[in-house]
């Protein structure tokens, strides 16, 4: 019987503030609609999510690559103005955390999981500001435990991070699933720690992976309610 759900934060519960990113570019004469950036994001992540890239970089190092690929897919030419916008956004992220957009489906999904009696633990590669961010967004009260990789000095896909999350939350491997948006970070890392994993694949870019996929958190809740992960 499923008892605990581990959730990634970025790309699952919180997303970049596309309006702020669009504004930073616009102030430098680069016009791009926030919705265009949002639609480009899954494709940027998919290009990063290959074993060689994940194995040879850390989360912070992948950030610049992520934004470069994001802008490229959104049709934003990379130049000095874009670099200046990125520097501004990086400063904001360091102080506050740029991943501050919460889709409307998040709070109902978390509530549904807790109503089912499930414990929720956040297992996130973050920048040390995750707790501040979740407090500001009023997400902290929706989860039971939270681990920020910067605070723990370890990050996914290292299985020790998941093992620490099990210990900290009091969860059991056999009754826990982990849900994340990067196959080689979340699925591989969780499996190496002996956990079952589910990939959040919003754009349907992982048709051939060897794990359960969901397109939305609502779908995840529905499948959990049907007992698929018990």
Residues 54 and 129 in one domain: no
Helix or strand (DSSP H, E) at 120: strand 119-124
Answer yes or no: is 230 within a domain: no
Residues 212 and 115 in one domain: yes
Q: What is the rounded CA–CA span in Å between residue 20 and residue 118?
A: 34
Answer yes or no: is 216 within a domain: yes
Answer yes or no: is 49 within a domain: yes
Residues 170 and 221 in one domain: yes
pLDDT value for 64: 85
Residues 117 and 31 in one domain: no
Residues 9 and 25 in one domain: no
Q: What is the rounded CA–CA span in Å between residue 116 and residue 3?
A: 9
195 vs 32, 49, 161, CA distance in Å?
A: 40, 20, 12
Q: What is the rounded CA–CA span in Å between residue 151 and residue 154?
A: 8
The number of domains in the chain is: 2
Per-residue pLDDT tens listing for the chain (230 residues): 999 999 999 999 999 999 999 999 999 999 999 999 999 999 999 999 999 999 999 999 998 899 999 999 999 999 999 999 999 999 999 999 999 999 999 999 999 999 999 999 999 999 999 999 999 999 999 999 999 999 999 999 999 999 999 999 999 999 999 999 999 999 999 999 999 999 999 999 999 999 999 999 999 999 999 999 99
Residues 220 and 170 in one domain: yes
Which domain range does residue 23 map to?
A: 18-95
167 vs 71, 93, 145, 160, 189, CA distance in Å?
A: 39, 29, 11, 10, 16
Residues 114 and 176 in one domain: yes
Residues 200 and 120 in one domain: yes
C-beta atoms surrounding 189 within 10 Å: 26
79 vs 75, 187, 227, CA distance in Å?
A: 12, 35, 50
Residues 112 and 46 in one domain: no
Residues 86 and 108 in one domain: no
Residues 151 and 204 in one domain: yes
Domain end, chosen from 43, 72, 95, is at 95
pLDDT value for 217: 98
Domain end, chosen from 40, 64, 95, is at 95
Place of tokens 């989860």: 143
Domain end, chosen from 80, 95, 110, is at 95
């Amino acid at each position: 019987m499923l008892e605990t759900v581990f959730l990634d934060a970025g790309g699952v519960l919180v997303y970049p503030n596309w309006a702020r990113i669009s504004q930073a570019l616009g102030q430098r004469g680069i016009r791009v609609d926030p919705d265009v950036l949002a639609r480009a994001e899954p494709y940027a992540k998919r290009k990063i999510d290959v074993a060689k890239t994940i194995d040879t970089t850390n989360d912070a190092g992948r950030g610049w690559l992520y934004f470069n690929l994001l802008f490229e897919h959104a049709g934003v030419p990379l130049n000095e103005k874009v670099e200046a916008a990125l520097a501004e956004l990086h400063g904001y992220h360091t102080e506050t955390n740029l991943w501050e957009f919460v889709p409307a489906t998040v709070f109902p999904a978390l509530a549904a999981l807790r109503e089912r009696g499930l414990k929720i633990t956040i297992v996130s590669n973050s920048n040390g500001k995750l707790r501040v961010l979740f407090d500001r967004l009023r997400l902290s009260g929706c989860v039971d435990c939270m681990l920020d990789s910067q605070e723990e000095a370890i990050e996914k896909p290292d299985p020790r991070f998941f093992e620490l999350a099990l210990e900290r939350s009091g969860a059991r491997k056999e009754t826990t699933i982990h849900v994340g948006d990067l196959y080689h970070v979340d699925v591989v890392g969780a499996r190496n720690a002996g956990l079952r994993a589910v990939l959040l694949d919003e754009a349907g870019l992982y048709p051939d992976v060897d794990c359960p996929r969901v397109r939305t958190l609502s779908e995840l809740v529905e499948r959990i309610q049907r007992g698929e992960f018990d």
